[in-house]
Structure 1
């Protein structure tokens, strides 16, 4: 799908990446081009092949994969025709890669200055003045080289600073092409905005062609000129960003856009039902047919070819009768009437420190019965520390925490069994919070064995019931965590929390690493469970747009202090504190989505 005319810095033609020793491809029939100074967006769910494609652009594949067809032209030269030495010379100097997690890509044992110096020394043709170039590139990413940052180790920098260092290293050799793989995932909205502005400025200044990989469509919408939507290893829709987002032609594109939370309205989110096919297991016919609300019998048999409609190219056999597609209506979220009862959870004048560094200062908040209170703020503002204090994982603090009118001991070790059972915690990362050596049933059995004296048959019955509640099904109980997707693992983590019938659920950034479609499913699951089980929730997030869809009250935290608190409607529509106002301004928005997805009240 070559959609950009003129001088192309990067041109990909019919690229295919296959499994080694097994049938099936992971990426197939990929063609696009990017001009100097432009940014091309790649969006799609996890497992769609985005990162495999991103790495292939550097002539690299993960273990078990191989590039088997196609060409990648970098300034007119096919890098796939180069030998190993030629590829080493090109990587870093002509094409650079910015990974998702800078903390994992930066060497923890080397100072920042050493790592940038090492890069420039490996490509001596870039500059004769290594030290001068280091200072210059740090200033370009808004890092002060005089602040001692060159002598720091990666762990001494914030997440935003680490990502800026990764950007500095990518641009240091004045590369022609930059591949950015989810560089803002997990960052708060303010840090995210600064990183995106840096990317945009440097691409324009250096005439760099950039490929920006993301599952956050709101971020992509404000950054890239053209976008490619990937599903099951193929581009299913490609076109100008404004057109694709305002009027998506492929049902999958429409589904992704329908899952984006609105920062302006409380709406019911749409998740895409089902799971994408596993890499290398693309089914016969249209790979999206099993999940598509518009699929017909022909979709199950015929492999769709790209169809050109203006500047758009769409891989859907029904795109020509697009007008017959039903347009789903985004329903407004019904208001929850505030409870007149005393709050279930009260935090009073809570202050704590790590060593000599104070991280929370006199925090007060309430969580009403059967209601959700969101805690929002930038990274490092103290949100997670506050959550850990509530559940007793951080027991060294001043102040008090009352649960159902009774003051609780500060440490979980000293709380009684009833208090521990009634407050359950859902961790941010389901990949590390589930024991990889145990089956899902064994994982769910542990809290039951600890808090409830049930027979083995009663335990099995409860596990089966709760797996059905989180829309997984009892058959999942026999699987191990590594056999599940990220969204499925997070549902298991939620099932583990609710299986002991708590009254308060503490959710710590539970959707931060999930695709928008999976995020929508998890949010709607939490809302349903809250209603069915009369749960209260403390929902910690840096995604302010998500707050509208799940919470009734919100607490804004900055540098360990509550700067604003109230109902979601009051705080987000009429913010008073300058910090809250800035957070609202930094939220990436897709204003064009409104025209594609009409709203109604329910």
Structure 2
């Protein structure tokens, strides 16, 4: 396959120990097709994606294997050769468009730089024509005024489309997309996915799409590869994988995906994948698999053919049902609890510009109220007003029948403890210099509780969020994303609030961690 992507027996090691973090990865993507690479955080997806460009993160080395992009083995090139083909033969679209675009350069200038770096087009006039052509292909304005804008003057979706224009500018053979729609609202996400789908097929590009969002893979990809603990455990056509998954891990991934109709219960998965270098002798998933036997734990399973172009690494293939079992949700009756928070005619603004108009809501005890809408629709602004984190609002917000002050500083201690806020990004909401225990008890200490009472509360609340007591001495950088979010929830719960405001608390988490967090919130309710 000279014009697509072919990864053969790829292995990457940790320099310090020699232990592998990715091993025996073999994947192919034909021109015009999209391969979705899915798995939990830490499974090795991004590591494989970077290896396609001949790159490894600091402290990691590419031990052996081959990566062919358009007929060229990237791993055999020297540094200069790798720099030359990046953007020309193989392109990369990162997760965060804001950080990948230079904030000091105009959009048109950045697009021109890409073309000039690879001497694409041969002349400035040809390059300017190519820029306008690419802007049109990603459905962005082609006029000079738009090209004169800076990245901060664009929305997140527009920034990501500019990133796509850069990636496709030199007509590469292969493109790697590393969760490019994470953080975008569903409408913007659909537009970006449609653009990727169109460009991939129109230009005959082999696309590797890295994500934890199974809904995106089902909508976009032709084939899917499932990674677990650095190895591919299942690979095949997307329809076969999602309707008849052969590997127990894949079945758990599918069962954890949310059902938009709300007809079944999402199911999480206990435990954690083994850390790099600590993979057990047999099947790495055996420790979490309800079907595991001594044979699974003693021998690494070979690749087994399941069907047409469908393979899995599991000795149980053909011996257990491959269809996923959906657990129906129990009927939910109307919530009859008393109103706990009420909003009446609430308006909110930023620098005098009104962005929320006349919002009226009632939240009852024991109820979960979902606030949905596109980016910029005012969801977070309303939630921050409830939490006392936004000062430009008017109207009336009451808590237990009592009016709330404009900000948290103007509210009583009981009101501040009674309404707790969990932020979207646990990486930014936890102080990296404080231990988990210190972070959790801070609300209690501020409220005047004794250290003895606070220490007892740590153990109780860690148990509620399914974290061991030993985690109280850890720092945030020692935790996974899901564990950090559990700590953030624990901190919010320690004051025994009546209202928990959750601002997109699962948006950046993989599907199994999402399921665990949603299960936890459901139990707390």
Establish whether TM, by shorter chain, passes 0.5. yes
Cα shift at 1:457: 2.8
Distance (Å, rounded) in 1 between the aligned partners of 2:426 and 2:302: 37
In the TM superposition, 1:161-240 aligns within 5 A as 161-240=158-237
- Is the alpha carbon distance of 1:397 and 1:36 closer, same or farther for their aligned partners in structure 2, counting shifts above 3 Å? same
**What's 1:318 paired with?**
316
Cα shift at 1:153: 1.5
- Is the alpha carbon distance of 1:7 and 1:73 closer, same or farther for their aligned partners in structure 2, counting shifts above 3 Å? closer
Distance (Å, rounded) in 1 between the aligned partners of 2:508 and 2:334: 31
Does structure 1 residue 410 correspond to structure 2 residue 406?
yes
Distance (Å, rounded) in 2 between the aligned partners of 1:453 and 1:235: 50
Q: What whole-Å deviation, never above 9, does each CA across 1:204-225 have from its counterpart, x for those lacking one? A: 1111110001100111011111
Q: What whole-Å deviation, never above 9, does each CA across 1:365-400 have from its counterpart, x for those lacking one? A: 111121011100001111111111111111121211
In the TM superposition, 1:426-437 aligns within 5 A as 426-437=422-433
Distance (Å, rounded) in 2 between the aligned partners of 1:458 and 1:131: 67
Conservation of the 8 A alpha-carbon contact between 1:352 and 1:398? yes
Conservation of the 8 A alpha-carbon contact between 1:395 and 1:412? no
Q: What whole-Å deviation, never above 9, does each CA across 1:487-539 have from its counterpart, x for those lacking one? A: 11101100000100100000000000011111010001001011xxxxxxxxx
**What's 1:102 paired with?**
97
> How many corresponding residue pairs?
522
**What's 1:301 paired with?**
298
Distance (Å, rounded) in 2 between the aligned partners of 1:500 and 1:125: 60
User: Cα RMSD between the aligned structures?
Assistant: 1.5
Conservation of the 8 A alpha-carbon contact between 1:448 and 1:500? yes
Moved over 6 A (4+): none
Cα shift at 1:333: 3.6
Cα shift at 1:357: 2.6
Cα shift at 1:166: 0.5
Does structure 1 residue 509 correspond to structure 2 residue 504?
yes
Conservation of the 8 A alpha-carbon contact between 2:70 and 2:89? no
Conservation of the 8 A alpha-carbon contact between 1:423 and 1:505? yes
**What's 1:542 paired with?**
none
**What's 2:372 paired with?**
376
Distance (Å, rounded) in 1 between the aligned partners of 2:466 and 2:191: 38
TM-score, length of structure 1 as denominator length = 0.85
Distance (Å, rounded) in 2 between the aligned partners of 1:358 and 1:333: 41
Distance (Å, rounded) in 2 between the aligned partners of 1:326 and 1:207: 34
Q: What whole-Å deviation, never above 9, does each CA across 1:141-192 have from its counterpart, x for those lacking one? A: 0111227321222121111111101101001111111100001111111101
Conservation of the 8 A alpha-carbon contact between 2:441 and 2:457? no
The secondary structure found in structure 2 opposite 1:14 is: strand
Select 2:332's aligned residue among 335, 340, 347.
Answer: 335
Select 1:36's aligned residue among 31, 35, 52.
Answer: 31
Does structure 1 residue 257 correspond to structure 2 residue 254?
yes
Does structure 1 residue 357 correspond to structure 2 residue 349?
no
Conservation of the 8 A alpha-carbon contact between 2:244 and 2:324? no
Conservation of the 8 A alpha-carbon contact between 1:49 and 1:279? no
**What's 1:544 paired with?**
none
Does structure 1 residue 448 correspond to structure 2 residue 448?
no
Distance (Å, rounded) in 2 between the aligned partners of 1:185 and 1:103: 12
Distance (Å, rounded) in 2 between the aligned partners of 1:326 and 1:83: 47
The secondary structure found in structure 1 opposite 2:41 is: coil
Gaps of 5+ in 2: none
Does structure 1 residue 84 correspond to structure 2 residue 79?
yes
Larger RCO (CA within 8 A; separation ≥ 6): 1
Distance (Å, rounded) in 1 between the aligned partners of 2:190 and 2:442: 42
**What's 2:494 paired with?**
499
In the TM superposition, 1:102-181 aligns within 5 A as 102-128=97-123, 129-146=126-143, 148-181=145-178
**What's 1:279 paired with?**
276
The secondary structure found in structure 2 opposite 1:399 is: strand
Gaps of 5+ in 1: 1-5, 531-602
Distance (Å, rounded) in 1 between the aligned partners of 2:3 and 2:299: 33
Does structure 1 residue 488 correspond to structure 2 residue 472?
no
TM-score, length of structure 2 as denominator length = 0.97
Distance (Å, rounded) in 1 between the aligned partners of 2:175 and 2:324: 37
